Amino acid sequence: MPSVCFYFQVHQPFRLKPYDCFKIGHDHAYEDETKNREILSRVSTKCYLPANETLLRQIDKHHGKFKIAYSISGTALEQMEKYRPDVLRSFQKLADTGSVEFLSETYHHSLSFLFSKEEFIRQVGLHRQKIEELFQQSPEVFRNTEFVYNNEIANFISALGYKGILCEGLEHILGYRSPNFLYHPPGNENIKSLLKNYKLSDDIAFRFSNKEWSEWPLTASKFARWVHQAAGNGETINLFMDYETFGEHQWPETGIFDFLSHVPAEIFKHPDFDFKTPSEVIHAYPSRGVYDVHNLSSWADIERDLSAWLGNSLQHDAMERIYGMEREVKETGDERLIDTWAKLLTSDHFYYMCTKYWNDGDVHKYFSHYNTPYDAYINFMNVLTDLEHVLEVNFEKPEHALAAHS
């Protein structure tokens, strides 16, 4: 009995305010509160609230048999608590149905695994705490920021006690094999990898409203037919996407909400199919083989690698500088300072600095509030320079202080 596993990513970064060199040493508040509130509100109105409403109705309609999963970053949850508690309540209402699962990720939606295991563990813990506190769930399944994945990450997550991990279904690794089964990393059967069916996922996320696409318009029944083709050759069809697909990337006028509210019934038309959450999937099905990923992969761009965050020397420089401060920041023991620092680890800050495709004025630009990647880098580095200044002035090391007084 094949299952459809829907998973949606919800994330908002704490965007930085315009921070020029004159603010360094004087202004230690880096967040653009107005912009963050505005964007959260806009996305809530266009996506979160109507999509939650649509999905809640489908769960009720199908008596809890329609199931979905979310991963909501800690920074997004924090902003909801701060600016839009109504949106948070609407997610909690979904949690109350018992048909919605919340996954683990890094609290700050960071790439910390690559730079500091210590920070990675800390952020996974913080996020876990937050999910337990807000949704009364203890996640068994992990998704790393932007689906950054390889064998090492899977093994590391397994060692932390997780039973499942989400990742991209890479054709060059799968070869003839289908992404519609569970796999495990080489030599580790304690964790199962759920692979994104990128074709079917992207049919919704990217192609849905594309009138040039030969399959346009995509109806729920057509989509269900494609899903049903996996019968006999698949156990879990993993449809993983950004939640903002609904209403923000695909506008309401495209019929995306209508599509979403018809998909469950169309899937159920085939008696063998059901919906499962990621943790239900890993308990229901065995691993069918080894998914062996050495190089780091992600779900971004056509390269599906890390080049969107670590593709140029500006990004490397900024990343090295911010992680280079970790020890000093943590040694202060100052929670506010540590939190400020950690919010700067959010991957979006580095994504804004991406110069690849910049010339085409593409999707990267759509997601950035900076005019140019250079502006993004400069703003971030100015903030970092101030943070270094704060560390130097406010948190003088004891031995230095002593030396100064003696």
Partner 1 sequence: MLGWEFPPFFSGGLGVATYGMVKALSPKVNIKLIVPNASQGISFSNMNIIGLNSISAEQLSIESLKFSYVNYTSEQHTLPLTLSTYHHKNEEILRNQLDPYEEVTAIERNLNSIRSAFSDGHVYGPDIVSKIELYARLVSQLASNGGFDIIHAHDWITFPAGLEVKRASNKPLLLHIHSLETDRAGEGARNEIYHLEKDAMMAADAIFSVSQFTKDQIIKHYGISPDKIHVVHNGIDPCPKTRVPHKLRDKLVVFLGRITHQKGPEFLLETVEKVTRVFQRVKFVVAGTGDQFAHLLETSAYKKLGSKFIFAGFLTKARVEDLLSTADVYFMPSVSEPFGLTALEAVQHYVPAVLSSQSGAAEVLRASLKADFWDTDRYANYIYALLKYEALNQTLSGDAYQELNQVTWVQAAEKIINVYQKFK
Catalytically active residues, by annotation:
146
At 16 the three-state DSSP class reads strand
365-375 exposure pattern, b = at least 16 Cβ within 10 A, e = fewer: beebebeebee
DSSP string for residues in 320-338: HHHHHTHHHHHHT--HHHH
Q: Are 156 and 113 in contact (CB under 8 A)?
A: yes
At 237, list the tokens. Answer: 């069809």
Instruction: Identify which of 316, 318, 306 has the alpha carbon closest to the alpha carbon of residue 376.
Output: 318
Tell me the C-alpha distance between 233 and 335, whole Å. Answer: 51
Instruction: Identify which of 154, 136, 135 has the alpha carbon closest to the alpha carbon of residue 144.
Output: 154
CB atoms inside a 10 Å sphere around CB 223: 21
208 or 377, CB closer to partner 1?
377
Tell me the C-alpha distance between 20 and 385, whole Å. Answer: 11
At 195 the three-state DSSP class reads strand
At 346, list the tokens. Answer: 């959010």
Q: Give me the least distance between CB of 357 and partner 1, in Å please.
A: 12
Q: Give residues in contact with partner 1 (CB under 8 A).
A: 20-22, 24, 312-314, 316-318, 355, 358-359, 372, 374, 377-378, 381-382, 385
Q: Are 154 and 165 in contact (CB under 8 A)?
A: yes
